Amino acid sequence: MTLVPITYKGGVYRHDEIVDLIDDLGGYVIQKHQLAQEVVLQSLVPKEDIDYLRTVARPLAGEVIEAPLVGTEIAVISPSLEIHHLPHASCDVAEYLRRVGAKTNVIGLARGFGKRIANLNLEERDVINEHDCAVYLLGNFEECIREKLPALRRGVTVPIVVAGAPSTERLKEIIQPPVEGYVGDLGRVAHRMRKEEELEPLDRVVDEVSSVLSAYREEIAQDPLSISPARLMVVIDEKMRISAESTHPTPITVQIAGLRVKVDYETYADDLRALEIEDGVTVGDVAEVLPSRMRNYIWLKIRPFSETNVMV
């Protein structure tokens, strides 16, 4: 059964039927936003049932849209949190990625600005490495991108997408060793990107991140995970009642090969490890339960089948 990421948009009225249907079909609702009369469900649904879901949603005026990045957590990296880089373009990019279902975190580096003086500290490196993909938003000059990127990517092991003002071809030439994705014509700007020609680079960010992540997903498919992250999320949430007792927008964030559980590591890690998924298999058997560098959260890294010999 292949699960396809989708976004369902519709009214509050009878939306619980859709939630139940997704559950019955064997899919997962990863995130639910409710804004006044509108409900948005970021979900994973079996590929063959999408048309059926559309049929059910039609009388409710619901819309089913493919959202390639549902179930991913992406780091949008800005050289700093100064007025020079925020809110444009960092927030514009983060917002655009969110529209296609990604959970984005904007990471403002402490000393990521400048050419010679740019650097990345250990905490930033570790936080970036807890994501599925890192989108670096760099500036307008080739010379600076060439010189500063090696410092900013040192120790980063997740796939990297670099955006900058030079064209995509120039970025490919100046960045050595190569990174996974390039988006040209998107550098530092001081205005909101709302014209069509300005939105085009944002669309390319989405395309580039999607293709980088599908390559990553394919790589994982070679040696499948012991449990699907979405399923593990549902199990943990049901047994530990995390979303019911949390005020976070995403109390459990789904990643491609892991989860970020937003509860205190010291207090809950042991309970989480011992939590039974089914037939005596515990969370600790299929995943590494690690302290996250992001606040005091728990970061779960799901082990592949080859390591655990268990598939639940």
For binding to other proteins (CB under 8 A), which residues are involved?
79-80, 82-85, 113-118, 139-144, 165-167, 170, 187-191
CB of 185 to other proteins, least distance (A): 8
Residue 301: strand pairing partners: 258, 288
Per-residue burial over 218-248, b = 16 or more CB atoms within 10 Å of its CB, e = otherwise? eeeeeeebbbbbbbbbbbbbeebebbeeeee
The nearer residue to other proteins, 122 or 190, going by C-beta atoms, is: 190
CB of 184 to other proteins, least distance (A): 9
Name the DSSP class of 250: S
Q: What is the largest CA-CA distance in the chain?
A: 59
Tokens of 285: 């058997």
CB of 193 to other proteins, least distance (A): 11
Under 8 Å between Cβ of 286 and 310: yes
Nearest-5° Cα angle at 297, 79 to 122: 40
Return phi, psi of residue 92, to 5°.
Answer: -60, -45
The nearer residue to other proteins, 117 or 274, going by C-beta atoms, is: 117
CB of 150 to other proteins, least distance (A): 16
**d(Cα 136, Cα 83) in Å, to the nearest integer?**
17
CB of 257 to other proteins, least distance (A): 35
Please give the C-alpha separations between residue 144 and each of 182, 269, 274, 303, in angstroms, as whole numbers.
16, 43, 49, 39
Secondary structure class of 138 (helix, strand, coil) = coil
**d(Cα 199, Cα 92) in Å, to the nearest integer?**
9
**d(Cα 199, Cα 192) in Å, to the nearest integer?**
10
Q: Work out the burial of residue 176: count CB atoms within 10 Å of its CB; fewer than 13 is exposed, 13-18 middle, 19 or more buried.
A: exposed
**d(Cα 112, Cα 151) in Å, to the nearest integer?**
9
The nearer residue to other proteins, 195 or 295, going by C-beta atoms, is: 195
CB of 166 to other proteins, least distance (A): 5
CB of 122 to other proteins, least distance (A): 20
The nearer residue to other proteins, 93 or 286, going by C-beta atoms, is: 93
The nearer residue to other proteins, 101 or 139, going by C-beta atoms, is: 139
Which is nearest to 160 in space by CA: 187, 178, 141? 178
The nearer residue to other proteins, 86 or 294, going by C-beta atoms, is: 86
The nearer residue to other proteins, 54 or 170, going by C-beta atoms, is: 170
The nearer residue to other proteins, 113 or 305, going by C-beta atoms, is: 113
Q: State the CB neighbour count (10 A cutoff) for residue 83.
A: 8
